[in-house]
């Protein structure tokens, strides 16, 4: 039984139905039914027929978020005579979602134009401000089950877009001119074998020169500049080889055009065009990976409710300063670090500290920005501006960790460090050798020397790494594993230690009921009904677990009355005229409940709550944070591959060790702070290990950056996704197995390619040095070698997940 | 023979330049920014709009 709108399996007791044309449609919640009615009402029922969703369900905050105009108006800008706002729409997963959003928003009165970019999930809505407010637009998107967020273009992104356009124009130009050039070159090839009139040959060569010049100096400018930088820094790089390859054949060709001989303009132009194509594809792949992450930014940016006198106003978090009095309701995140001045509540600090159980907070207690207020509405006095909050500090830690990272040199770059000087040396030696042999024939000597450079031209070498990495990242992305760069593949293939975060990564981070131990003669169903009655509407994870359990097992729960939450203890209420209490044993004992078993035997890693009615203990319920099903196979895979696994967590030591023991991980380290995790990973790296960190949550962010490869499981916090190098689109740890296999496979293809390119050079260079290979054959051999390399790289794409 | 060849080459370059300028215009206008969406947009039959227009 799945929800007609969002496609998830409907939990027992959650069913909402809607009658339509003799057909009963089933929904998982009122929100989904509302979205369905909205879509049908607008006449877009086609949406259900056409959509193509790989993954069901919506984001957790869908249908829940409220939108406020004062905050959203900040993102509205002038667009001609009208206003416009840019929106990131979370939850778009197929072209039909884009279509639906465009249509539904477009039907709102006052909206003039809607364009949703499918690749980036970004929408630009142009509207008449007199007729509609941005909050109405946002609410409409929210009603459909998508999560809209305002968006401003960052300067970094602007420049990335410009860079991509620039690269595209350079490539387009190079490609167009090279096509022209090939026509002339084929005529010249024919002339070489059959004979050609000197006049025609000359004019063809002049045309070739004409079209090649812009390819070298305009399209090839990034390489020339890079090469020049390499010379200045005395670090021979890939660009230098490309520049030498292209420039030498270009300059020699000009010489040959006027002094007589064969020209190799096509070699020069081809090198630039092919390598630009590689760059372009790499850029596109990188942008795609970045966009997915960008969408998840914005954790701290948001709004807060501040008291101005007795009035409440909604302000941007950035405007808060120390001493401001704020109101934070249940379910909201604390916007800044602060102290509690009124009310009591339970706080989920897991985003910040990793502690999965809620912590009770009373007057005067310190609150951490980013943690979630669970049970009570409280007044908070702001301690520090948002820029100095815990999250901001963590972000700075991350930046530091990133800057400490040594610049990664690609395999080919490392090879070229000695390859470039060697080739230059060889060709110089050849020149002088041939010059003395041929007794002063400058032309012949120069041509032989340049044949050495042409045959050693780094085409195959230059393509070896990028094509393989491109094929690898592309195939991985298609299977839901996004590598944020080619170097990540390389490092992932070499990892020796895998470090896992516990809460939210290995486990779901939400407790579930695993066992009910009732008193003699008490029906467990009755107990759960009582507990669910008093916990109804609770945001506390334990309360929610009890309610969920009641829902799933179809246990009817009447609503309790006079519900009172005692922070850090439990809940009391009246159910069917009898007082009921749910909470820790100590809390119940404090209420005077009798009959609580003195010693409850439970395994570490579990949480225990007791339920009492009319002062008598009725049952003890054991809850446990459930483990991801995909965790054990992953650990087993790493063990087989000879990679050591470690478990790090902010949770209590015994809980961590219990989980570690269950998974067969030798080391479980608990009660460790975010900075401590990063430090621990630094320690491992200093011992010479290559570390993979798998995590989720802000508290992991520094650790994710400190590790050689940081991997965030999706659904994780934005900051964690931003800092990780490897993103799993679905929180399925088994994809990590796939990612690791893919990385190893890609790197082995890179090595094959490099070996091939070197063998080709080893054979070709001596032939060229002795003058047995004219540059025409050298260029042909080079192309063949490149084709082999590309073909070998494309093999990777056939490797699919599962 | 020689001059006809040169004329033809110049002609092809001229035509090619037209395409090249068209390409540059397209890039600058942002036609390549989203290459996923248009192919779907083409297939959408906007029944409602038709009905409204009629």
CATH number for the domain spanning A490: value is: 3.40.50.1000
Instruction: Indicate the length of chain B as a whole number.
Output: 54
Mark whether A490 and A633 lie in a shared domain.
yes
Task: From A158, A121, A141, select the one nearest A35 (Cα to Cα).
Answer: A141
B interface mutation test: which of A50, A95, A288 has the most B CBs within 10 A?
A95
Catalytic, out of A337, A501, A548, A700? A501
Query: Helix axis angle, A442-455 relative to A411-437, nearest 10°?
Result: 160
Domain boundary at A596, A627, A658, which? A627
Find all residues with CB under 8 Å of A234, minimum gap 6, and list them: none
Mark whether A137 and A171 lie in a shared domain.
no
**Alpha carbon distances (Å) from A368 to A349, A649, A678:** 7, 18, 20
CA dist., res. A519 & res. A620, Å (int): 8
Higher-confidence residue of A222 and A6: namely: A222
Instruction: Indicate the length of chain A as a whole number.
Output: 802
- Confirm or reject contact between B4 and chain A (CB < 8 A): no
CA dist., res. A442 & res. A446, Å (int): 6
Q: Is A501 a catalytic residue?
A: yes
Residue A206: pLDDT band with limits 50, 70, 90: very high
Q: How many CB pairs under 8 A join A and B?
A: 63
CA dist., res. A411 & res. A417, Å (int): 10
B27·A176 Cβ contact <8 A: no
Of the ranges A288-302, A551-565, A729-743, the best mean pLDDT one: A729-743
Q: What is the pLDDT of residue A64?
A: 59
Mark whether A705 and A788 lie in a shared domain.
no
Mark whether A79 and A135 lie in a shared domain.
yes
Whether the pLDDT of residue A420 is over 70: the answer is yes
The secondary structure element, H or E, covering residue A488 is: helix A486-492
A587 token code pair: 């809390």
Whether the pLDDT of residue A406 is over 50: the answer is no
Residue A188: burial class (beta carbons within 10 Å; 0-12, 13-18, 19+): buried
A407-440 per-residue burial string, b: 16 or more CB within 10 A, e: under 16 = eeebbbbebbbebbeebbebbeebbebbbeeeee
CATH number of the structural domain spanning residue A71: 3.30.70.100
A119·B34 Cβ contact <8 A: yes
Domain boundary at A578, A609, A627, which? A627
A180·B48 Cβ contact <8 A: no
Alpha-carbon distance B54 to nearest alpha carbon in chain A (angstroms) = 16
A183·B5 Cβ contact <8 A: no
Mark whether A273 and A214 lie in a shared domain.
yes
SS3 string, A637-701, reads HHHHCCCEEEEECCCCHHHHHHHHHHHCCCEEECCCCHHHHHHHHHHHHHCCCCEEEEECCHHHH
Of the ranges A107-111, A501-505, A598-602, the best mean pLDDT one: A107-111
CB atoms within 10 A of CB A241: 29
Domain boundary at A367, A396, A425, which? A396
CA dist., res. A516 & res. A345, Å (int): 27
- What backbone torsions phi and psi does residue A142 show, to the nearest 5 degrees? -60, -40
Greatest pairwise CA separation for chain A in angstroms: 116
- Confirm or reject contact between B22 and chain A (CB < 8 A): no
A interface mutation test: which of B36, B45, B49, B52 has the most A CBs within 10 A?
B36
B37·A119 Cβ contact <8 A: yes
Q: If you average pLDDT over every residue of chain A, what do you get? A: 77
For A448-489, write each residue's pLDDT tens digit: 777 777 677 656 666 677 677 777 777 777 676 777 666 778
The mean pLDDT of A670-686, rounded to a whole number, is 86
A569 token code pair: 């203890």
Task: From A57, A81, A64, select the one nearest A6 (Cα to Cα).
Answer: A57
A40 token code pair: 């049908």
Domain ranges for chain B:
2-53
A176·B20 Cβ contact <8 A: yes
For A34-78, write each residue's pLDDT tens digit: 888 888 887 887 788 777 776 666 655 566 566 777 777 777 888
A761 token code pair: 């050079």
- Confirm or reject contact between B27 and chain A (CB < 8 A): yes
Mark whether A242 and A327 lie in a shared domain.
no
Q: What is the pLDDT of residue A208?
A: 93
B27, B33, B48 member nearest A117 (Cβ)? B33
For A757-779, write each residue's pLDDT tens digit: 878 878 888 888 887 876 667 66
Mark whether A256 and A352 lie in a shared domain.
no
The mean pLDDT of A106-112, rounded to a whole number, is 87
Residue A158: burial class (beta carbons within 10 Å; 0-12, 13-18, 19+): exposed
CA dist., res. A716 & res. A351, Å (int): 9
**Domain assignment of residue A725, given as a range:** 481-496+629-729
Mark whether A489 and A633 lie in a shared domain.
yes
The mean pLDDT of B7-30, rounded to a whole number, is 91
Mark whether A490 and A637 lie in a shared domain.
yes
Distance between the two ends of chain A, CA-based, in angstroms? Answer: 26
Q: What percent of chain A has pLDDT over 70?
A: 80
- A58 falls within a domain: yes
Whether the pLDDT of residue A147 is over 70: the answer is yes
A180·B16 Cβ contact <8 A: yes
B2·A120 Cβ contact <8 A: no
CA-based Rg of chain A, rounded to a whole angstrom?
33
CA dist., res. A583 & res. A568, Å (int): 9
Residue A574: burial class (beta carbons within 10 Å; 0-12, 13-18, 19+): middle
Q: What is the pLDDT of residue A452?
A: 78
Alpha-carbon distance A304 to nearest alpha carbon in chain B (angstroms) = 35
B2·A168 Cβ contact <8 A: no
A118, A161, A207 member nearest B36 (Cβ)? A118
Chain A residues whose CB is inside 8 A of the B9 CB are 184, 207
- Confirm or reject contact between B44 and chain A (CB < 8 A): yes
Q: What is the pLDDT of residue A65?
A: 63
CA dist., res. A60 & res. A544, Å (int): 14
Q: What is the pLDDT of residue A559?
A: 74
Mark whether A77 and A175 lie in a shared domain.
no
Chain B residues whose CB is inside 8 A of the A172 CB are 20, 23-24, 27
| Strand ranges for A193-324 from DSSP E | 303-308, 311-316
* Residue A711 · residue A726 · CB < 8 Å: yes
- What backbone torsions phi and psi does residue A201 show, to the nearest 5 degrees? -60, -45
The secondary structure element, H or E, covering residue B17 is: helix B2-29
Mark whether A318 and A280 lie in a shared domain.
no
The secondary structure element, H or E, covering residue A544 is: helix A541-552
| Number of domains forming the structure of chain A | 6
Chain B residues whose CB is inside 8 A of the A168 CB are 27, 32
CATH number of the structural domain spanning residue A526: 3.40.1110.10
Mark whether A489 and A529 lie in a shared domain.
no
The mean pLDDT of A740-745, rounded to a whole number, is 90
Q: Is the pTM here over 0.90, yes or no?
A: no
Alpha-carbon distance A443 to nearest alpha carbon in chain B (angstroms) = 28
Greatest pairwise CA separation for chain B in angstroms: 63
Residue A171: pLDDT band with limits 50, 70, 90: very high
């Amino acid at each position: 039984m799945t929800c007609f709108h969002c496609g998830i399996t409907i939990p027992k007791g959650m069913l909402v139905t809607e009658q339509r044309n003799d057909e009963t449609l089933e929904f998982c919640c009122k929100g989904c039914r509302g979205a369905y009615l909205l879509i049908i009402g607008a006449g877009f029922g086609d949406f259900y027929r056409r959509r193509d969703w790989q993954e069901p369900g919506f984001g957790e905050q869908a249908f829940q978020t409220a939108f406020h105009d004062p905050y959203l108006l900040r993102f509205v800008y002038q667009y001609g005579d009208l206003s416009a706002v840019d929106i990131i729409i979370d939850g778009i997963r197929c072209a039909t979602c884009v279509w639906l959003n465009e249509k539904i928003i477009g039907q709102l009165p006052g909206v003039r134009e809607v364009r949703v970019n499918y690749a980036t999930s970004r929408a630009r809505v142009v509207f008449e401000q007199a007729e509609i407010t941005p909050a109405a637009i946002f609410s409409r998107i929210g009603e459909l089950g998508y999560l809209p967020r305002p968006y401003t273009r960052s300067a970094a992104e602007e420049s990335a877009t410009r860079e991509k356009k620039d690269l595209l124009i350079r490539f387009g130009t190079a490609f167009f001119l090279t096509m022209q050039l090939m026509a002339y070159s084929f005529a010249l090839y024919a002339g070489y074998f059959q004979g050609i009139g000197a006049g025609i040959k000359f004019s063809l060569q002049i045309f070739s020169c004409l079209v090649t010049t812009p390819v070298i100096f305009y399209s090839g400018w990034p390489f020339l500049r890079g090469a020049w930088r390499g010379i200045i820094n005395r670090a021979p790089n890939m660009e230098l080889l490309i520049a030498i390859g292209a420039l030498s054949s270009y300059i020699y060709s000009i010489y040959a055009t006027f002094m007589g001989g064969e020209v190799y303009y096509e070699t020069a132009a081809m090198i630039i065009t092919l390598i630009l194509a590689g760059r372009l594809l790499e850029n596109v792949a990188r942008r795609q990976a970045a966009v997915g992450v960008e969408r998840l930014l914005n954790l701290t940016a948001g709004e807060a409710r501040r008291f101005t006198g007795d009035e409440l106003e909604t302000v941007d978090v950035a405007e808060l300063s120390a001493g401001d009095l704020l109101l934070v309701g249940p379910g909201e995140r604390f916007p800044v670090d602060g102290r509690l001045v009124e009310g009591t509540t339970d706080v989920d600090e897991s985003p910040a500290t990793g502690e999965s159980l809620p912590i009770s907070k009373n007057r005067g207690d310190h609150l951490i920005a980013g943690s979630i207020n669970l049970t009570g509405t409280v007044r908070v006095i702001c301690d520090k501006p948002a820029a100095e909050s815990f999250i901001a500090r963590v972000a700075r830690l991350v930046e530091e960790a990133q800057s400490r990272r040594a610049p990664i040199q690609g395999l080919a770059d490392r090879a070229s460090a000695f390859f470039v000087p060697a080739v230059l040396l060889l060709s110089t030696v050849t020149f002088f050798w041939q010059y003395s042999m041929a007794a002063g024939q400058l032309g012949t000597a120069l041509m032989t020397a340049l044949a050495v450079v042409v045959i050693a031209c780094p085409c195959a070498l230059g393509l070896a790494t990028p094509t393989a990495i491109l094929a690898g990242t592309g195939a991985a992305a298609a299977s839901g594993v996004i590598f944020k760069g080619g170097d990540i593949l390389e490092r992932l293939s070499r990892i020796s230690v895998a470090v896992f975060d516990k809460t939210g990564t290995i486990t779901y981070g939400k407790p579930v009921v695993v066992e009910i131990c009732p008193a003699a003669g008490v029906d467990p169903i009755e107990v759960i009904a009582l507990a669910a009655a008093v916990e109804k509407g609770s945001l506390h994870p334990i309360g929610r677990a009890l309610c969920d359990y009641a829902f799933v097992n179809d246990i009817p729960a009447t609503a309790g009355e006079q519900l009172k939450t005692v922070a850090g203890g439990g809940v009391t209420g009246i159910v069917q005229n009898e007082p009921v209490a749910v909470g820790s044993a100590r809390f119940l004992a404090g209420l005077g409940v009798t009959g609580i078993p003195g010693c409850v035997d439970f395994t570490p890693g579990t949480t225990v709550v007791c339920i009492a009615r009319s002062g008598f203990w009725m049952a003890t319920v054991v809850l446990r944070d459930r483990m991801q099903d995909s965790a054990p196979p992953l650990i087993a895979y790493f063990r087989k591959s000879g990679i050591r696994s470690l478990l790090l967590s902010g949770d209590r030591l015994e809980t961590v060790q219990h989980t570690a023991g269950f998974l067969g991980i030798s080391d479980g380290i608990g009660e460790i702070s975010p900075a401590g995790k990063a430090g621990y990973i630094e320690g491992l790296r200093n011992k010479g290990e290559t570390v993979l960190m798998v995590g989720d949550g802000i508290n992991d962010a520094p650790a994710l950056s400190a590790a050689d490869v940081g991997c965030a499981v999706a659904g994780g916090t934005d900051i964690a996704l931003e800092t990780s190098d490897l993103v799993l689109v679905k929180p399925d740890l088994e994809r990590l197995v796939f990612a690791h296999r893919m990385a190893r496979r890609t790197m082995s293809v890179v090595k094959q390619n490099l070996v091939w390119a070197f063998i080709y050079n080893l054979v070709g260079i001596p032939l060229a040095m002795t003058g047995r290979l004219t540059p025409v054959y050298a260029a042909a051999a080079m192309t063949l070698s490149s084709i082999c390399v590309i073909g070998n790289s494309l093999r990777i794409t056939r490797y699919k997940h599962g | 023979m020689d001059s006809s060849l040169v004329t033809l080459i110049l002609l092809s370059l001229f035509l090619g330049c037209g395409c090249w300028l068209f390409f540059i215009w397209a890039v600058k206008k942002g036609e390549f920014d989203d290459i996923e969406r248009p192919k779907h947009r083409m297939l959408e039959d906007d029944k409602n709009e038709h009905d409204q227009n009629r």
